[in-house]
């Protein structure tokens, strides 16, 4: 296990590429250039229309003995930087200040991409005849709609009859210090657009109109007050939240004809999409609304119970950081939801997430090599 600047230098190169989703901006080519000479079979899958072209990388190194297929997964795309004037330094120029490396994607998740790549390099160099297979799955469509990224690679693997055994997704899961939290599952995400129809009219003659906002208000309060489930030992209770409300013409004297409400469930394994939909419908019907619903299932919940992967990763974190991670299922969704159907064990682990998607996103320089070492130690446990 080397203690050099290889991971930092690769990370700086990655940050310098403006890979705003879905543009990979050459990040995956950098990875391929490093892995291909070491015997990795590197396959690039270009997916999606020309207007939203997604780059996916599937790189595999086959060992010489039977063993599991272990995957390191992540995304090379980043969210937009926002107003450049708000940043202390250019978000696409890696900048060092006070022990921190600043740049868009530093935490989410180019540090993990760099650490995984260098860990894979060092592992194969040290163990060229390892057991099983080591693979890397990187996409440029995680921060966007996620329709042509990891899900498309998984579909291709399914068509080939390939199954995975263990996967670490490099999401930034650490909270206060590197290694304090590992995600061993995620809640599901179910969204909907509710349209309630009324009758447009003049505000001075409400008897000639029907205000859909007024009609919706009691139902909205009832939805907000509903307990959907109590969660379980692995998941917090299901939550329901409104994200947008749209109504009106902009004029102050017109009762709107419709109101649209966007809402989202983050649901545990105690609830199902079908059950949640049925309960929402029943409540809206009870309030006598003239409505329609358009549902979108963003992802189902998944859970990896403690096993060989969480044990190996936990031991690696303890050896490198001196702490034992907490297993958690909190937070949003990740591409783990697409991998879980063909992979028995999926966990997420990466750097501190305090600055993700923020202005002046950054990562502690002192955490970069330890993160690489954690991935490397985990590979050694599972594949040697």
pLDDT in tens, the chain (384 residues): 455 799 999 999 999 999 999 999 999 999 999 999 999 999 999 999 999 999 999 999 999 999 999 999 999 999 999 999 999 999 999 999 999 999 999 999 999 999 999 999 999 999 999 999 999 999 999 999 999 999 999 999 999 999 899 999 999 999 999 999 999 999 999 999 999 999 999 999 999 999 999 999 999 999 999 999 999 999 999 999 999 999 999 999 999 999 999 999 999 999 999 999 999 999 999 999 999 999 999 888 999 999 999 999 999 999 999 999 999 998 888 999 999 999 999 999 999 999 999 999 999 999 999 999 999 999 999 999
* Rounded distance between C-alpha atoms, residue 290 and residue 47, angstroms: 40
* Rounded distance between C-alpha atoms, residue 372 and residue 314, angstroms: 14
Residues of the chain with CATH 3.40.630.10: 6-186+301-383
* Rounded distance between C-alpha atoms, residue 319 and residue 326, angstroms: 15
143 is in an annotated binding site: yes
Q: Residue 265's closest CA among 310, 297, 220, 308?
A: 297
pLDDT at 1: 46
Long-range contacts at 355-359 (CB < 8 A, ≥ 24 apart)? 355/106, 355/107, 356/107, 356/108, 356/172, 357/79, 357/108, 359/81, 359/82, 359/86, 359/87
202 is in an annotated binding site: no
* Rounded distance between C-alpha atoms, residue 164 and residue 263, angstroms: 34
* Rounded distance between C-alpha atoms, residue 342 and residue 153, angstroms: 11
CATH class entry, domain 188-299: alpha beta
pLDDT at 74: 98
* Rounded distance between C-alpha atoms, residue 277 and residue 295, angstroms: 8
The superfamily (CATH) of domain 6-186+301-383 is Zn peptidases (3.40.630.10)
pLDDT at 177: 98
Q: Is 77 a catalytic residue?
A: yes
* Rounded distance between C-alpha atoms, residue 21 and residue 139, angstroms: 10
348 is in an annotated binding site: no
171 is in an annotated binding site: yes
270 is in an annotated binding site: no
* Rounded distance between C-alpha atoms, residue 132 and residue 161, angstroms: 16
Q: Is 344 a catalytic residue?
A: no
pLDDT at 56: 98
Residues of the chain with CATH 3.30.70.360: 188-299
Catalytic residue chosen out of the listed positions 12, 24, 77, 141? 77
pLDDT at 195: 98
Instruction: Note if the pTM is more than 0.85.
Output: yes
Catalytic residue chosen out of the listed positions 24, 122, 141, 142? 142
């Amino acid at each position: 296990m080397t203690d050099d600047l290889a991971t930092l230098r690769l990370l700086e190169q990655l940050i310098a590429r403006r890979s705003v989703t879905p543009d990979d901006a050459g990040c995956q080519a950098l990875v391929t250039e490093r892995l291909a000479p070491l015997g990795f079979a590197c396959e690039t899958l270009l997916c999606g229309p020309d207007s939203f072209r997604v780059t996916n990388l599937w790189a595999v190194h086959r060992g010489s003995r039977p063993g599991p297929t272990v995957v390191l997964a992540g995304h090379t795309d980043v969210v937009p930087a926002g107003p450049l004037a708000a940043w202390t330094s250019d978000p696409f120029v890696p900048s060092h200040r006070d022990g921190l490396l600043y740049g868009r994607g530093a935490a989410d998740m180019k540090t993990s991409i760099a650490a995984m790549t260098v860990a894979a390099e060092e592992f194969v160099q040290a163990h060229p005849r390892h057991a099983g297979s080591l693979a890397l799955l990187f996409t440029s469509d995680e921060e966007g709609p996620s329709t042509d990224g990891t899900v498309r690679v998984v579909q291709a693997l399914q068509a080939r009859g390939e199954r995975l055994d263990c996967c670490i997704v490099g999401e930034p899961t650490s909270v206060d210090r590197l290694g304090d939290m590992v995600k061993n599952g995620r809640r599901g995400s179910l969204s909907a657009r509710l349209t309630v129809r009324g009758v447009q009219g003049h505000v001075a003659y409400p008897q000639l109109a029907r205000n859909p906002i007024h009609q919706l208000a009691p139902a909205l309060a009832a939805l907000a007050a509903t307990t959907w489930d109590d969660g379980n030992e692995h998941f917090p209770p299901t939550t329901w939240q409104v994200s947008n409300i749209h109504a009106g013409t902009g004029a102050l004297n017109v009762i709107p004809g419709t109101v649209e409400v966007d809402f989202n469930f983050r649901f545990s394994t105690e609830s199902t999409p079908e059950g949640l939909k049925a309960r929402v419908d029943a409540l809206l019907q009870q309030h006598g609304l003239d409505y329609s619903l358009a549902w979108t299932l963003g992802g189902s919940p998944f859970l990896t119970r403690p096993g060989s992967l969480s044990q190996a990763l936990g031991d690696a974190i303890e050896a490198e950081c001196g702490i034992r991670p907490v297993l958690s299922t909190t937070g949003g969704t990740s591409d783990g939801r697409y991998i879980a159907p063909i992979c028995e064990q999926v966990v997420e682990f990466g750097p501190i997430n305090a600055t993700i998607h923020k202005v002046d996103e950054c990562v502690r320089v002192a955490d970069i090599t330890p993160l690489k070492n954690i991935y490397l130690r985990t590979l050694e446990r599972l594949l040697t």
